[in-house]
């Protein structure tokens, strides 16, 4: 982050949403892992699959926390990561037309927002 750049409002909102979703994903992953093990009634395959699913969801939650913190801090790497992920989302939305139209529009707006001078300055780009 550039020292003299103020955090843009939408970047702060994206950061907070990522942090909150990360927390929810971690909690949800743990609940899934424990719940499946509890109801698997000794079936090792079901318990293992549920634990793996819960661990994967929790891992995505940790990644979401890192991305949220990176947005908040203005890490240059996160700007590039967001650009790549959002372009992939745009392509996916186009492929899912007309169902993905709304998300495609949202991600196009977000990609354009990343290129605003104040946002690029915040990320040191």
Query: How confident is the model over 29-87, as pLDDT tens digits?
Result: 999 888 887 777 777 777 788 888 899 999 999 999 999 999 999 999 999 999 998 89
Which residue range forms the structural domain that includes residue 102?
A: 74-125
| Domain-embedded: residue 102 | yes
For residue 4, what pLDDT is reported?
Answer: 53
For residue 1, what pLDDT is reported?
Answer: 57
20 lies in the same domain as 64: yes
| Domain-embedded: residue 86 | yes
Distance CA 3, CA 108 (A): 28
Distance CA 77, CA 80 (A): 5
51 lies in the same domain as 85: no
Pair 74, 122: CB distance under 8 Å? yes
Domain count, the chain: 2
pLDDT in tens, 86-124: 898 889 888 888 888 888 999 999 999 999 999 999 999
Distance CA 30, CA 65 (A): 16
Pair 58, 33: CB distance under 8 Å? yes
pLDDT in tens, 9-32: 999 999 999 999 999 999 999 998
89 lies in the same domain as 111: yes
């Amino acid at each position: 982050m550039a020292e003299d750049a103020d955090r843009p409002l939408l970047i702060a909102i994206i950061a907070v949403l990522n942090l909150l979703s990360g927390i929810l994903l971690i909690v949800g992953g743990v609940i899934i892992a424990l719940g499946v093990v509890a109801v698997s009634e000794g079936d090792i395959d079901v318990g293992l699959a549920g634990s793996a699913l819960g661990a994967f969801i929790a891992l995505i939650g940790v990644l979401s926390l890192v991305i949220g913190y990176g947005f908040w801090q203005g890490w240059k790497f996160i700007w590039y990561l967001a650009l790549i992920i959002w372009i992939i989302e745009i392509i996916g939305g186009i492929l899912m037309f007309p169902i993905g139209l709304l998300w495609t529009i949202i991600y196009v707006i977000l990609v354009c927002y990343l290129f605003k001078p104040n946002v690029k300055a915040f990320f040191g780009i």
